[in-house]
Amino acid sequence: MRECPFVTVDVFTEHRFRGNPLAVILDGSELTTEEMQRIATEFGYSETTFLLPPEEIDNTAQVRIFTPTTEVPFAGHPNVGTAFVVGRMGRIFGQSVGEALRFEEKAGLVTVTLRRLGDAVRGATIRAPQPLSVGAQVPVPLLARAADLSPHDIVADRHAPSFASVGLKFVVAELSDLDALGRAKPNVETLEEMCATFAAEESDCPLFLYTRLDGEHIRARMFAPLDNVPEDPATGSASAALGALLTSLELADHGHFRFLIEQGVEMGRTSHIHVATEKRGGHVHTVDISGDCVEVMRGTISI
């Protein structure tokens, strides 16, 4: 029997039992892909990460990310939580951990900077691994049916409901107000129809719905029932895609922009995701996601 140590953390929060839970398997080098998937399914969190030795010696680790049903190339809260765990370890795979970490992932190399309070690691800031890509627009009536809303609840003045990604693809749509956001719920049958209609997007059509409260403050919800995630309390990759999309729509060709995205409120797991973007020459140049974490459990998994 093999035993794999793990740590769980709550991400994008300073308080246990809030934010988004994450399981981090500290050494997955002896696990098969099938075993990783089974472990992720057993935890049942929106994502579980597995640390492996890096392929390039200058990098910190290879990180594989699994939902309960599949492996994904990139996600925000797994990177923030994994960096928090690695930063507190101090050493990994025979190397000391500095302030800047480099994770090898399916989507590319992810750069992570630790956030500290005094000497203690409190969280991390990650940089999205890919530039903003905006895909097909989803008709408002179809999006409304997929979220069990009225077309009048959808705001398309700034942008139409669209596929957007900086490493992981989401259907991003603005809603009229908090009431509409609170009433939203995924319609699985319509989401399956959406996946078939937009098969070229190669996406399970996770919905990232948001409304602007004031200025930089945004409230959001994310539904991915086709990935066995009925609702996610904090979705860094979706928040990064949204921040990049909103930055691309700014009239200024250059500038720095910040957004505070609040998520998980309706689930009783309030999360705070900080997104900072830079625009150069009319294009989104960088997207950074920041958040705090707190450790919850430690243990071993028997294989």
Catalytic residue set: 47
DSSP string, 30-99: T--HHHHHHHHHHH-SS-EEEEE--SSTTSSEEEEEE-SS-EES--HHHHHHHHHHHHHH-EETTEE--S
**Residue 101 to residue 110: CA distance in whole angstroms:** 8
**Residue 133 to residue 42: CA distance in whole angstroms:** 33
**Residue 28 to residue 37: CA distance in whole angstroms:** 12
Residue 273's beta-bridge partner residues?
261
Neighbours of 48 (CB within 10 A): 27
